[in-house]
Amino acid sequence: MHQSKSRRLLLLATIVAALVVIFDQILKFYIKTHFYLGEDVEVLSFFHIRFIQNNGMAFGIELGSKLFLTLFRIILVCFLGWYIARLAKLARVPAGYMVAVALVASGAFGNIIDCVAYGEIFSNPYPPEVAAIVPWGSGYGGLFHGLVVDMLYFPLFSFTWPEWMPLCGGRVFSFFDPVFNIADAAITIGMGMIIFFYAKYLGSEYIKNEQDKGKKA
């Protein structure tokens, strides 16, 4: 019974991760080969497709060098893969927690693909030309130096601060400014689920306690 549940949890995590990576990469390939860099298409007043590229982490945040970021993502995904396999062996792990961890892992993996491969397989022309798929090694950057493709932009509202306001007077404030992709969204949703619903399952102490319970049973 326990082994059967473990297999189901692993299968669930695998399906969630696979769907995130597949849809993330399909959308990125489409945007990369049909939009020029900086192109903005208004779908709705509060939703645009805006093609940008960045070196950074989720939502374009930059931390350290490009190579450091890529290696950090790879280490993180390897750790999360090991963690998911370990979690699946426990009897009392909620399926929702497995889904949350799988979302984070697959989101990070989706952006790893951009960093590792996109610099090798895509050209990077000046606008208004769009990128083309090229033979491996003929792209705009080397291995581990590809740029992450972002395209989802939600400018929900904006206003101008009154002139009399200190520091920000006369400036335009808009929400929500970051441009992101499906992988970023998966990471954010997964982290939100963990923080708000499954925080007690974090850490090695919970895993150790569950393993002890399993041995006693």
For 98, what's the count of Cα atoms within 13 Å in the CB-facing half-sphere? Answer: 24
Burial class (CB in 10 A: 0-12, 13-18, 19+), 141: middle
Per this entry, what is the length of the chain?
Answer: 217
Buried b (16+ CB within 10 A) or exposed e, 169-181: eeeeeeeeeebbb
Catalytic residues: 150, 184
With tokens 């200190």, the residue in question is: 166
In 10 A of CB 23, how many CB atoms?
A: 14
Cα-based angle 74, 79, 83 (whole degrees, multiple of 5): 150
CB 56 within 8 A of CB 63: yes
Dihedral over alpha carbons 87, 91, 94, 97 (to 10 degrees): -10
CB 49 within 8 A of CB 28: no
